[in-house]
């Protein structure tokens, strides 16, 4: 589904990603872990098409198509979803209105009919309920006045409605208490199926207690230093990232 | 004519005389308005009461002295708006008559409409009974032309031209010189007028360079309620000048909900003066929506004249092309326990320009009062410009006051966030702009007006320019 070849990325002349190779197949969950500043978020953001990053070398293919030449909205319509580390507030833009516009354009791209307001409201309300989101809160403008945890739930609401093929979860677990983490993990597991894929970017091993990855990659200083199965995450939690760094040196 | 003080200065300093003459030459149209006025006076009914004829005559003289305002000599009130385009042209007073054909569909199409509302239609400032519809509900709703003729119209004699002072304001003086028609609304004590009263001022543009001078006097009695809507609408693209004056006097413990919709044509000039005087425990809430006119000034002055009085003044302006829209708000906290809240928003495109200025004056005895003043602007083009200058003058020591202003482009991160959900750039922009404007539009209570304004802005395609 996603194939990244020797991807090199800079932001204002500073090189952040120094040649990433990664293959994610349908039905897989890949966890990307790493210390602060290792380039984890850059990887997610560049795949979603944030304009401030410059790809200096390499390629990223999504279902065999060149991803890097597409606008951010085109990527989303094709089935890529970035759950933001810091979701943006949209004053005056209501959640329903925003999600209806997003879903309409995604469905149109898939060749599906636009949902009626009634059908939309039905799936919207169901998703709100299952993610344990306060129905009063979600009547407000997108993310406006939401707490950190509420913003992350709202991202999961968008994920579950848009139902993307590839979800890029950028530190969705950061800043969550244990109950919120469980709810959000439940949402992710419900979304997970054999037709879609997830790139789960995290600083902590904690979320992997609830979501079992197929592969774990350790990103250090812009390169994947180590890859392995789910047990690698536990080892990292026990030994810390310095252990990987020492391991590379030796 | 220079004022006596100026004459003295001119004698003392011969150079000043030259400067004065140069200024007059800049605005040669003054004298034309004088002859226009003389024609007007010779044509109107000589049976008008003496007080009215006197008022007009004093106002005409005062206009000759004052002329049009300029930014010269540190005139802060007009610092960012030049009325030279008005002063350099000549707009002639040409009252429309009952026989002038106006298409009802045109009015329906260009103004908000609800059959439950009382509607008074004015064509170039003249009342059109044939186009109006009045629901009587214990409120006096009449045209000024009909009641000015009544020699017993003591209430008009006492109140008309009392709140809008023409001594210090050229445009008000000019309007008063031509005072002949408009609306008079009086809500008696204890009456809660539930149906909105809609004053529709049409600029017909049936001839070029027409000047119209609409006028309204709105008064509420004790414990009364009133919802009033003013719409200024251009029916053609002909350039014209609307110079309107609205005087509002709120009785004790009365509540006035006021809306002002500006949708004049793209070539027209609009000077709107609103003067509000509030009695004890009365409340004035106003929302102005400004879209049309090449050059427009919304000049609102509220006097919080008694304890317990308060106002909220909100506004939304959307400018494009080379439009210039100026909102100038003066609030005078003249007594203790008064409150005022100003909240304006602007969306600017192309090379348009907007001005927000004004002054909140908290006098020495305005203790325990509070005031806020805020103006937020969204600039959708590099060439659009806004001058925003909230200001407060505070002489009382026990008050709360805040003010602020911003001007900026659409947030890139918000745009990216929406696009990352599959929404194209154009739709994302319009959702964000609508989100920005909806905060004001959603506050409009009459549903038909709110719907009309909402449609006006989403249909305008303000973001097509990006």
Using DSSP's 3-state secondary structure scheme, residue A20 falls into strand
Query: What's the pLDDT at B464?
Result: 39
CB atoms within 10 A of CB B140: 14
Q: Taking a contact as any Cβ pair under 8 Å apart, which residues of chain B between 432 and 461 contact chain A? A: 432, 434-439
Query: What's the pLDDT at B107?
Result: 82
- A91/B436 CB distance under 8 A: yes
- pLDDT at residue B7 greater than cutoff 80: no
Residues of A in CB contact (< 8 Å) with B are 48-51, 71-73, 75-77, 81-82, 84, 87-93, 97-99, 101-102, 105-106, 109, 141, 158, 162
Q: What is the Cα–Cα distance from A74 to B329, expressed in whole angstroms?
A: 46
- The model's confidence at residue A54, banded by pLDDT at 50, 70 and 90, is very high
CA distances from B203 to B103, B249, B286, B325, B355 (A): 13, 26, 23, 18, 24
A2-249: CATH topology is Rossmann fold (3.40.50)
Query: What's the pLDDT at B44?
Result: 78
- Let me know the angle formed at the C-alpha of B429 by B428 and B434, rounded to the nearest 5 degrees: 100
- pLDDT at residue B463 greater than cutoff 60: no
Q: What is the Cα–Cα distance from B29 to B88, expressed in whole angstroms?
A: 7
- The model's confidence at residue B466, banded by pLDDT at 50, 70 and 90, is very low
Q: Which two tokens stand for residue A139?
A: 């009547």
CA nearest A51 in B: which residue? B416
Q: What is the DSSP string of B214-267?
A: -EEEEEE-TT-EEEEEEEEEESSS--EEEEEEEEEEEPTT-EEEEEEEEE--TT
Q: What are the helix (H) ranges across B402-446?
A: 412-419, 425-441
Q: What is the Cα–Cα distance from A25 to A197, expressed in whole angstroms?
A: 7
List CB contacts (< 8 A) between B416 and chain A: 50-51, 72, 88
Residue A92 distance to chain B (closest CA, Å): 4
**Positive or negative CA dihedral for B416, B421, B426, B430?**
negative
Residue B56 distance to chain A (closest CA, Å): 48
List CB contacts (< 8 A) between B424 and chain A: 73, 105
- The model's confidence at residue A237, banded by pLDDT at 50, 70 and 90, is confident
Task: Convert A163-206 into a string of H (helix), E (strand) and C (coil).
Answer: CCCEEEEECCCCCCCHHHHHHHHHHHHHHCCCCCEEEEEECCCH
- A105/B436 CB distance under 8 A: no
ipTM: 0.94
- The model's confidence at residue B62, banded by pLDDT at 50, 70 and 90, is very high
Whether the CB-CB separation of B346 and B376 falls below 8 Å is answered with: yes
Query: What's the pLDDT at B30?
Result: 66
Pick A72's closest partner by Cβ from B419, B427, B439: B419
The reply to whether B421 touches chain A by the CB within 8 Å rule is yes
- B431/A101 CB distance under 8 A: yes
- pLDDT at residue B354 greater than cutoff 90: yes
- The model's confidence at residue B313, banded by pLDDT at 50, 70 and 90, is very high
pLDDT, tens only, B205-263: 888 889 999 999 999 999 999 999 999 999 888 889 999 999 999 999 999 999 999 99
Q: What is the Cα–Cα distance from B235 to B49, expressed in whole angstroms?
A: 34
- A92/B435 CB distance under 8 A: yes
pLDDT, tens only, A72-99: 999 999 999 999 999 999 999 999 999 9
H or E segment to which residue B187 belongs: strand B183-187
- A72/B436 CB distance under 8 A: no
CA nearest A83 in B: which residue? B420
| Pairing state between β B92-93 and B240-250 | unpaired
Of B94-103, B121-130, B326-335, B395-404, give the lowest mean pLDDT range.
B94-103
The reply to whether B406 touches chain A by the CB within 8 Å rule is no
Query: What's the pLDDT at B70?
Result: 82
- B435/A91 CB distance under 8 A: yes
- pLDDT at residue B55 greater than cutoff 70: yes
- B436/A106 CB distance under 8 A: no
Residue A230 distance to chain B (closest CA, Å): 29
Pick A102's closest partner by Cβ from B413, B421, B435: B421
CA distances from A190 to A43, A165, A196, B391, B438 (A): 25, 14, 12, 55, 36
Query: What's the pLDDT at A193?
Result: 95
Query: What's the pLDDT at B327?
Result: 97
Query: What's the pLDDT at B46?
Result: 73
pLDDT, tens only, B405-441: 999 998 999 999 999 999 999 999 999 999 999 999 9
pLDDT, tens only, A132-153: 899 999 999 999 999 888 999 9
- The model's confidence at residue B462, banded by pLDDT at 50, 70 and 90, is very low
Of B113-122, B389-398, B450-459, give the lowest mean pLDDT range.
B450-459
Residue A84 distance to chain B (closest CA, Å): 8
- B427/A105 CB distance under 8 A: yes
- pLDDT at residue A26 greater than cutoff 60: yes
The reply to whether B427 touches chain A by the CB within 8 Å rule is yes
Which one of A93, A140, A162 would you mutate to disrupt binding with B, by most B Cβ within 10 Å of its Cβ?
A93
* Cα–Cα nearest to A95, from A155, A40, A43: A155
List CB contacts (< 8 A) between A109 and chain B: 422
Query: What's the pLDDT at B10?
Result: 45
Pick A102's closest partner by Cβ from B423, B437, B438: B423
Place of tokens 């009342």: B127
Whether the CB-CB separation of A217 and A31 falls below 8 Å is answered with: yes
- The model's confidence at residue B5, banded by pLDDT at 50, 70 and 90, is low
- pLDDT at residue B8 greater than cutoff 80: no
Whether the CB-CB separation of A141 and A95 falls below 8 Å is answered with: yes
Of B8-17, B107-116, B321-330, give the lowest mean pLDDT range.
B8-17
Q: What is the Cα–Cα distance from B126 to B103, expressed in whole angstroms?
A: 16
Mean pLDDT on B281-285? 98
How many residue contacts between A and B have a Cβ separation below 8 Å? 82
CA nearest A82 in B: which residue? B420
């Amino acid at each position: 589904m996603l194939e990244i070849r020797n991807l090199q990325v800079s932001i204002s002349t500073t090189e952040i990603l120094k040649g990433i190779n990664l293959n994610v197949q349908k039905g897989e969950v890949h966890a990307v872990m790493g210390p602060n500043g290792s380039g984890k978020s850059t990887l997610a953001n560049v795949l979603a098409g944030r304009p401030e990053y410059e790809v200096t070398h390499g390629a990223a293919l999504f279902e065999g198509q060149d991803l890097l030449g597409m606008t951010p909205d085109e990527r989303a319509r094709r089935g890529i979803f970035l759950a933001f580390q810091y979701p943006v507030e949209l004053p005056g833009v209501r959640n329903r209105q925003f999600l209806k516009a997003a879903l309409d354009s995604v469905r149109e791209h898939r060749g599906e009919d636009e949902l009626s307001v009634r059908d939309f409201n039905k799936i919207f309300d169901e998703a709100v309920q299952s993610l344990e989101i306060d129905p009063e809160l979600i009547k407000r403008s997108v993310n406006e006045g939401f707490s950190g945890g509420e913003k992350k739930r709202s991202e999961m609401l968008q994920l579950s409605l848009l139902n993307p093929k590839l979800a890029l979860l950028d530190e969705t677990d950061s800043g969550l208490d244990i109950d919120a983490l469980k709810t959000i993990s439940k949402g992710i597991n419900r979304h997970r199926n054999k037709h879609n894929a997830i790139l789960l970017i995290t600083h902590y091993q904690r979320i992997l207690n609830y979501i079992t990855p197929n592969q774990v990659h350790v990103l250090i200083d812009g390169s994947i230093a180590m890859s392995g199965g789910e047990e690698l995450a536990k080892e990292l939690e026990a030994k810390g990232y310095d252990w990987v760094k020492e391991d590379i040196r030796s | 004519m220079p004022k006596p003080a100026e004459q003295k200065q001119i004698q003392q300093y011969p150079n000043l005389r030259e400067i004065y003459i140069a200024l007059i030459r800049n605005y040669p149209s003054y004298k034309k308005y004088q002859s226009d006025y003389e024609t007007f006076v010779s044509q109107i009914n000589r049976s008008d009461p003496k007080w009215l004829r006197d008022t007009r005559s004093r106002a005409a003289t005062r206009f000759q002295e004052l002329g049009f305002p300029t930014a010269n000599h540190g005139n802060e009130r007009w610092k960012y708006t030049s009325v030279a385009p008005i002063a350099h042209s000549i707009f002639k007073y040409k009252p429309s008559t009952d026989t002038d054909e106006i298409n009802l569909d045109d009015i329906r199409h260009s103004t908000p409409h609800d059959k439950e509302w009382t509607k008074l239609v004015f064509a170039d400032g003249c009342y059109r009974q044939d186009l109006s519809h009045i629901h009587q509900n214990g409120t006096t709703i009449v045209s000024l032309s009909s009641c000015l003729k009544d020699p017993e119209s003591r209430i008009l004699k006492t109140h008309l031209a009392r709140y809008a002072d023409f001594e210090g304001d050229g445009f008000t003086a000019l309007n008063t010189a031509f005072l002949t028609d408009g609306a008079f609304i009086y809500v008696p004590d204890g009456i809660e007028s539930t149906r909105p009263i809609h004053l529709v001022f049409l600029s017909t543009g049936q001839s070029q360079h027409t000047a119209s001078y609409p006028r309204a006097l709105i008064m509420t009695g004790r414990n009364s309620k009133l919802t009033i809507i003013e719409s200024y609408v251009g029916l053609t693209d002909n350039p014209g000048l609307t110079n309107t004056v609205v005087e509002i006097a709120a009785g004790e413990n009365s509540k006035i909900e006021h809306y002002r919709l500006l949708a004049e044509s793209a070539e027209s000039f609009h000077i709107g003066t609103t003067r509000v005087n509030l009695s004890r425990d009365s409340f004035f809430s106003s929302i102005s929506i400004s879209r049309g006119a090449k050059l427009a000034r919304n000049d609102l002055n509220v006097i919080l004249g008694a304890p317990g009085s308060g106002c909220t003044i909100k506004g939304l302006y959307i400018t494009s092309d080379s439009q210039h829209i100026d909102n100038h708000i003066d609030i005078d906290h003249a007594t203790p326990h008064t409150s005022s809240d100003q909240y304006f928003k602007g969306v600017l495109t192309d090379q348009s320009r907007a001005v927000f200025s004004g002054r909140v004056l908290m006098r020495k005895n305005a203790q325990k009062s509070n005031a806020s003043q805020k103006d937020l602007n969204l600039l959708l083009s590099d060439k659009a410009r806004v001058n925003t200058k909230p200001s407060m003058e505070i002489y009382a020591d026990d008050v709360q006051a805040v003010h602020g202003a911003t001007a900026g482009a659409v947030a890139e991160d918000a745009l990216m966030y929406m696009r990352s959900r599959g929404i194209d750039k154009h739709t994302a922009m319009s959702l964000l702009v609508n989100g920005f404007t909806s905060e004001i539009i959603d506050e409009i209570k009459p549903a038909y007006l709110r719907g009309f304004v909402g449609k006006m802005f989403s249909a305008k395609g303000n973001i097509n320019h990006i």
